[in-house]
Structure 1
Amino acid sequence: MRPTVVFMTDFGSGGGAVLAGVVRSIDPELGVYDFDHNIEPYNIRQAAYQLSTVVPYWPAGTVFVSVVDPGVGTSRKSCVARLAHGSYVVTPDNGTLTMMLGEIDEVREIDEDANRLPGSEDVHIFHGRDVYSYTAGRLAAGMIDFEGVGPAYPVEKVVRLALTNIVPHLGTGWAEGGIYNFDVPYGSARINIRNREFQQVAGFAYGDLFHVAVMDGDRLIYEGEGRYGRTFGDVEDREAFLVGDIQPGERQMLRFNTCDNFIKAHAPEIERDQSLTVDWRVRFERP
């Protein structure tokens, strides 16, 4: 069975048609799937998170193409990362791989002389079509192996985003961490505290109340009380809440929100720039 090529871009609805066409022109038997073409334009942070939530659920050998590329045509690298479970990610090396770094076995820079759609040599602003889709199609079809992508370079050199500068700390009855991502439509903040450690180290159980303070240095962003639940329905309509996020096991972090939408009510500036929160500190403790 041929591998599937899975696309994610910020091109908008219908933006994947030409990318799929390039792949199918290489091998009509290849499967193609449009995961998400509605990433916010140029939002590499959002692309990094979305990629990390989807890749683990596809079979080994899947080739993911992520094109959120504000630096297209510049000196930033184009790469293919081979993951520990056998899949590949074709992407600009611009931070998109940040949340997958622990899963990468090897990364190679795409040799654009060997892996570029014929006839596109004078086009410098559409690598998603001319380089990434073409390379992904050839890799999925077996026309090149991983070594045929181009030269390897150290995984440590992969560009990573500064998601949060706050290192999580936990003790009996309290936990402190940083915000590494947001679910913008719903207003919730993803906290870099593992759900299991919140229970096992800090000692919180589902149903417990907590006091929370969100600080940017000395500036208070939000302070209040809420409830820790298994799911959204475990809390009252007017309560702030804390639940485990969507990833299972050791990868499950915490998700925090307020009844009035944390982002819109208390931090509207991050709708424009989520990087503003790299130094925001979130502390939970028993009331």
Structure 2
Amino acid sequence: MKLARLLLALLFAATTLHAQQSKQHVVGFMTDFDVKDDAIGICKAVMESIDPGVRVIDITHQATPYDVAEGARFLAGSAPYFPADAVIIVVIDPGVGSARKAIIAHSRRGQYFVLPDNGLLTLMPSKGENRIIAAREITNPAWMIGARLSSTFHGRDIFSPAGAHLARGDDWTTAGPALDVAKLVRIDIPVPTVDSTGLHAQVLGFDGPFGNVILNVPSETFARLGYDIGDSVPVTIDGRSYTIPFEKTFSDVPIASPLFYIDSRGRLALSLNQRNFAEQYKVSPGMAVIIPAKK
């Protein structure tokens, strides 16, 4: 009988632990902090202290410092791959300590986004299940690290603890007052246009360390120009003219040769096979790109 009771007790404990773990939400974590000092470790320790065993997936901590537009691009690109009940914390916050709000946004799909209200949500869809349907300002001290808040490290003091409270299942309506979703900050991110002279676009950024150049051009927009795989595409980048083939993948051209391709996110991009296009062609974010329609 004693052995049976012991086995039942162990089974109950294991079942309880599994139930507690199953309630925990995955936390996606993105910052521009880099990993050269202790900031990321501190933020994760704060999360762990509130929600022991919290599962944190690092999206990146090497976003370009202060670049909210890049953060918005990374957030919109990564969120669909996280579970429907995930909590995503983003700290790219050049206005830390100012009047900008610290907020939680909630999507129709069920995800929570813990971040400064500075435009990081700009590229989240306005329609469909991934759209933002509600938001709250984080004002409740119980959702923060404590009464002594730093004016320069809200990643530790506000965003990490708030995200951990969400991850362990706390009621988000207690974090602070509701906000009007329509009034959340949006930044101006240029969209490509097509007119009689062709496609007018812009360099968004680069593909990690490889120097591939990402354009703000969805594949369907580029398709309107009429180019097929294998075609030579004339392009002007920051006033300099080139002719570059449109190919399916890097190895379709010789090593050190350029190509246009559609990247894994469905955008038009430029690469130099096994070389760095951005460095060799001296390309930087924001440069104008013009591509005429196929003749």
Do they fold alike, i.e. is TM over 0.5?
yes
**Which of residues 142, 146, 154 is equivalent to 1:127?**
154
SS in structure 2 at match of 1:100 = coil
Check whether the contact 1:214–1:283 (CA below 8 A) recurs between aligned residues.
no
Read off the aligned partner of 2:267 and give its amino acid letter.
Answer: M
State the partner residue of 1:143. Answer: 170
Superposed CA RMSD in Å reads: 2.6
State the partner residue of 1:63. Answer: 87
State the partner residue of 2:6. Answer: none
**Distance in 1 of aligned mates of 2:100 and 2:177:** 15
Read off the aligned partner of 1:4 and give its amino acid letter.
Answer: V
**Distance in 1 of aligned mates of 2:104 and 2:166:** 10
Read off the aligned partner of 2:233 and give its amino acid letter.
Answer: F
State the partner residue of 1:214. Answer: 237
Find out whether 1:46 has 2:74 as its counterpart: no
Find out whether 1:108 has 2:136 as its counterpart: yes
State the partner residue of 2:205. Answer: 181
Q: How many residues align?
A: 266
Change in Cα spacing, 1:264 to 1:284, as seen in structure 2 (3 Å) is: farther
State the partner residue of 1:254. Answer: 268
Deviations 1:184-243 (A, max 9, x none): 6333332233213433x322221111111124xxxx1x2111111111122234543211
Q: Percent identity over the alignment?
A: 30
Find out whether 1:87 has 2:111 as its counterpart: yes
**Distance in 1 of aligned mates of 2:217 and 2:272:** 18
State the partner residue of 1:244. Answer: 262
- Unmatched tracts of structure 1, length 5 or more: none
Find out whether 1:154 has 2:180 as its counterpart: yes
State the partner residue of 2:214. Answer: 190
**Distance in 1 of aligned mates of 2:117 and 2:268:** 28
- Unmatched tracts of structure 2, length 5 or more: 1-21
State the partner residue of 1:231. Answer: 249
Check whether the contact 1:207–1:234 (CA below 8 A) recurs between aligned residues.
no
SS in structure 1 at match of 2:123 = helix
State the partner residue of 2:121. Answer: 97
Which range moves more in the overlay, 173-182 or 186-195? 173-182
1:258 deviates by 5.2
Which range moves more in the overlay, 130-139 or 4-13? 4-13
**Which of residues 131, 142, 146 is equivalent to 1:118?**
146
Find out whether 1:283 has 2:291 as its counterpart: yes
Read off the aligned partner of 1:233 and give its amino acid letter.
Answer: S
1:128 deviates by 0.6
**Distance in 1 of aligned mates of 2:97 and 2:112:** 22
1:262 deviates by 4.1
TM-score between the two structures when normalised by the length of structure 1:
0.81
Deviations 1:46-69 (A, max 9, x none): 322222222111111111111111
